[in-house]
Amino acid sequence: MVIVMRGINFIKDGKTMVNRKVIVKNEAGIHCRPSSRIMQKVLEHQDCNFKIETAKGETDLTSILSLMSLGLEQGDEVNVFVSGANEQAVCDELADLFSFSFDFPPRK
């Protein structure tokens, strides 16, 4: 199982946020296409605030470049923080994308 911790009501940057800690499962890490899927999910929930923390850095997911610049690789631990409407469900959806093993077809 890839979930190593699930927390509720963490105080982060003055906001109460739900948290879920996951391990990046995708073999190629979080590159362009997984980052795009993650950012699509963020845009679906514009009423929420996001924060991602890793050993490589952190981002509030305001741009795809901020996510990609973390250089997340398979096995990296990611803390996903969310506050706002339906925050627990949104946090779970977002964390699932970090722990999903994307199987993109090879380009021809």
Per-residue pLDDT tens over the stretch 22-61: 999 998 999 999 999 999 999 999 999 999 999 999 999 9
Domain positions in the chain: 3-85
Which pTM does this prediction carry? 0.82
- Where b means 16+ CB within 10 Å and e means fewer, 84-102 reads beebeebbbbbbebbbbee
Distance of alpha carbon 72 from alpha carbon 56, whole angstroms: 8
CATH 3.30.1340.10 fits 3-85, yes or no: yes
pLDDT class of 63 with cuts at 50, 70, 90 = very high
Residues counted in the chain: 108
Distance of alpha carbon 59 from alpha carbon 79, whole angstroms: 11
* Encoded amino acid at 47, one letter: D
Six-digit token string for 79: 């803390």
Instruction: Enter the DSSP assignment of 61.
Output: S
Cβ(6)–Cβ(19) below 8 Å: yes
